[in-house]
Amino acid sequence: MVISTGISAMSFFTPHRYISLDTLAQHHGIDPAKFSRGIGQEKIAMPGHDEDVVTLAAEAAKPIIDQFGADGIDTILFATETGIDQSKSAGIYVQRLLGLPSNLRNVELKQACYSATAALQMACAHVARKPDRKVLVIASDIARYDLDSSGEATQGASAVAMLVTANPTLLEIGTVSGLFTEDIMDFWRPNHRRTPLVDGKYSALRYLGALVESWRDYQANGGLPYDGFAQFCYHLPFSRMGEKAHLRLAKEAKAEADMQAALPGMIYNRQVGNSYTASMYLAILSTLENSESDLAGKSLGLFSYGSGATGEFFDAKVVEGYQDHLFAPRHRKILEDRTALSYDEYVALWHARNGEDGTDTPMPDEAKGRYRLASIDDNKRIYVDRTA
């Protein structure tokens, strides 16, 4: 008997402060339309000194644990390219903060912006083999580029948590995938650097190339036709990239591009900015929570891309009653309750202390959520739960 597997709950979190790209444009003396229309972005989420991928992840996952409990969870897969340790999985800190049991596996995955999709596919395979088990998949990232660089406007931060189960109540993940990997240097971050090295134009071209190759492989493996999808969700380093991807895919499929089939997935991204591994999954949430039509029983076309480079095209079917399993009011409140930064405040946060020199580093109390990085003591990261 074939067991359906997929996502029963999704939740996201983003920091409570942001810089408007109008403010950034004003500082640089350029037309704000370069950002609002040129790359399709409005705001950049900015984490505080005491926020990182662990605190964002814990905040994203907590509502899922509160609603569904921890019973059956035997695996945490933490996807990020903003690693905080070369050895220890960031998910282990999250496991403790959430009070999850010790009898589970906990692994961190990395491949640029793609690894959350690998985590999701691994999770589905695991629960197909053990239908009574559940997997907590977390994508958490902080996209940071050098000040005054070409990538500065495509920064951002968020985390998306997903509960993967058999007989899912939100999204049933399809069994067909289209895959493509090539060895290129379009975006990379050597160990000694805090920010990545990027060939932006080349990366955009290879993104589109990986989309086409993944789509062709998806079709060769028996995937749904282009007109079998109600909505499409793409990896979004910036929203305009998703628009370009949608046009390119329609051209490859010899179909007319309906941009309304992709725009709902870009709404949250415009407000949050790039979040690497979490980006496409934020697009899925944005689609489910902002589409004007009922998506129950319909299919989503999903394209995940990670520079370096790996792409995957796959599909998901929206489960009947999915609206009952969304945290839409919470997500809207998170976005509505944020505070705008001045340019000087933004620069101060960009230069957040990180304790890399090994000295003890207490962190100013800035986070508004439940969890925070209190300090780095003797090279050990000390996370606290404000309610404990």
Question: Each residue's pLDDT tens digit in the chain (388 positions)?
Answer: 678 999 999 999 999 999 999 999 999 999 999 999 999 999 999 999 999 999 999 999 999 999 999 999 999 999 999 999 999 999 999 999 999 999 999 999 999 999 999 999 999 999 999 999 999 999 999 999 999 999 999 999 999 999 999 999 999 999 999 999 999 999 999 999 989 999 999 999 999 999 999 999 999 999 999 999 999 999 999 999 999 999 999 999 999 999 999 999 999 999 999 999 999 999 999 999 999 999 999 999 999 999 999 999 999 999 999 999 999 999 999 999 999 999 999 999 998 766 666 678 899 999 999 999 999 998 999 999 999 8
Nearest 5°: the CA angle 227, 232, 234 is 140
Q: What is the pLDDT of residue 369?
A: 95
Q: 373 with 355: CB under 8 angstroms?
A: no
**Spatial CA neighbour of 167 closest among 137, 222, 124:** 124
Residue with tokens 């000390």: 382
**Phi and psi dihedrals of 267, rounded to 5?**
-60, -50
Q: State in Å, rounded, how far the first CA of the chain is from the last one.
A: 45
- Examine the residue annotation and report whether 213 is marked as an active-site residue of this protein: no
- Examine the residue annotation and report whether 81 is marked as an active-site residue of this protein: yes
**Spatial CA neighbour of 143 closest among 5, 38, 269, 330:** 269
Residue 181 burial (C-beta neighbours within 10 Å; 0-12, 13-18, 19+): middle
Q: What is the pLDDT of residue 110?
A: 98
For residue 3, what is the DSSP state?
P
The percent of residues above 70 in pLDDT, for the chain, comes to 98
**Spatial CA neighbour of 37 closest among 236, 203, 276, 243:** 243
By residue count, the chain amounts to 388
**Spatial CA neighbour of 164 closest among 191, 138, 193:** 138
**Average pLDDT of the chain?**
96
- Examine the residue annotation and report whether 233 is marked as an active-site residue of this protein: no
Given 16, 59, 108, 113, the catalytic residue: 113
Q: 366 with 374: CB under 8 angstroms?
A: no
Residue with tokens 């189960």: 165
CA 59, CA 372: separation in Å to the nearest integer?
A: 10
CA 90, CA 271: separation in Å to the nearest integer?
A: 26
Given 51, 59, 81, 289, the catalytic residue: 81
Given 235, 246, 325, 331, the catalytic residue: 235
Q: 57 with 94: CB under 8 angstroms?
A: yes
For residue 273, what is the DSSP state?
B
- The encoded tokens of residue 11 equal 């939740």
pTM assigned to the model: 0.97
CA 81, CA 260: separation in Å to the nearest integer?
A: 31
CA 173, CA 8: separation in Å to the nearest integer?
A: 11
Q: What is the pLDDT of residue 240?
A: 97
- The encoded tokens of residue 322 equal 């999915």
**Phi and psi dihedrals of 296, rounded to 5?**
-55, 130
239: three-class secondary structure by DSSP:
helix
Amino acid making up residue 217: D
For CA atoms 343, 188, 281, 87, the dihedral sign is negative
